Homo-oligomer: A and B are copies of this chain.
């Protein structure tokens, strides 16, 4: 796997981070340090889920908006969120980094601090990876393997007419946090200090330390009530479109049902932004968007409640050509919802 002095670096970043006991209990028979890791089978009653997600400097994050530990945390969290969106449990991670000269040993150490913080929170064993130099921009590519009870994985293709569309939390907070952090980065002196004072910690945290919804995904899979499911990595509109197209149905989302957090509304109105736009098109909130039979809605809300997970019904599934429509709160009129995703730092994205 890695080349000679890579091993020294990998050891520096990874040695002693996770106990032998934890790794053994996780099914790791051989971890970092050979050509490949060895993990024991999950048994016939479970299936494996596998996902990969890459973060690259200047595309997914900027030095000014994310600390090194945030980058490490979020690189793994994005993958945990994908496993959550299938109803699975995260298990094993491989971490590949391409390190440019500007990322010295101290910065990389902090990146791994954040990555292992996320690993510990979600019980993930880090079993391998690769490290190489990079000419200019840092790249962190994580592969995550999870498991789920056979036949229980929730696909995005399971939405059916008559079901309710739900969210497990408000959205748009990460996008608003990014907007605020970029404004701060662009400001100077007293203005910068004032903007920093004014920044809601919850918005900054939503962008830097997103919280994957593993528990909600597990409940949806184990009860069998989750008919279709996505994590909101690219924004509600984009994820709704994916479910609509994969399932061959139309999703109707209603403005009056869309949850808007107080922090989001305050930030939007103070900055001339539309809160609903942020909630619909802003990505990386890592709550879940899915569909559930109307007959299970109340039961699902009851199951979520003791875990502190909200259930916001935001619309319904209809027959029709695949697509997503948006019903305005004031007029009750419908219009197609743009199939627009989250564009990170694209021109004018926010």
User: Which A residues form the contact surface with B (CB < 8 A)?
Assistant: 1, 3-5, 7, 29-30, 33-54, 56-60, 81-83, 85-86, 88, 92, 94-96, 98, 127-130, 132-137, 139, 141, 143-146, 148, 150, 153, 155-157, 229-231, 233-234, 238, 241-242, 246, 283, 339-343
Chain B, Cβ-Cβ closest to A30:
B155
Q: A34-B86, A47-B38, A231-B35 are in contact. Are A141 and B96 (CB under 8 A)?
A: yes
Chain B, Cβ-Cβ closest to A148:
B38
A-B contact pairs, 8 of them (CB 8 A): A4-B339, A4-B341, A41-B45, A50-B143, A53-B130, A59-B135, A134-B139, A139-B139
Query: B134 to A56, Cβ gap below 8 A?
Result: yes
Query: B135 to A50, Cβ gap below 8 A?
Result: no
Q: A41-B41, A82-B36 are in contact. Are A139 and B47 (CB under 8 A)?
A: no
How many copies of this chain does the complex contain?
A: 2
If A34-B156, A37-B49, A56-B139 are given as contacts, then 16 extra A-B residue pairs at C-beta distance below 8 Å, sorted by A number, are: A1-B233, A3-B343, A4-B339, A30-B155, A35-B83, A36-B49, A36-B51, A36-B83, A36-B85, A36-B146, A40-B150, A41-B46, A50-B92, A52-B128, A54-B141, A60-B132
Rounded to whole angstroms, the CA-CA distance of A96 and B56 in the bound complex is: 12
**A130 surroundings in chain B (CB, below 8 A):** 52-54, 141
Q: A30-B155, A34-B156, A48-B41 are in contact. Are A59 and B132 (CB under 8 A)?
A: yes
> Which of A5, A51, A148 is the most central at the interface, judged by chain B CB atoms within 10 Å of its CB?
A51
Shortest beta-carbon distance from A188 to chain B in Å: 25
Rounded to whole angstroms, the CA-CA distance of A71 and B13 in the bound complex is: 29
Task: From the candidates B54, B133, B340, name the one contacting A4 in the complex (CB within 8 A).
Answer: B340
Rounded to whole angstroms, the CA-CA distance of A143 and B60 in the bound complex is: 21
**A1 surroundings in chain B (CB, below 8 A):** 51-53, 82, 233
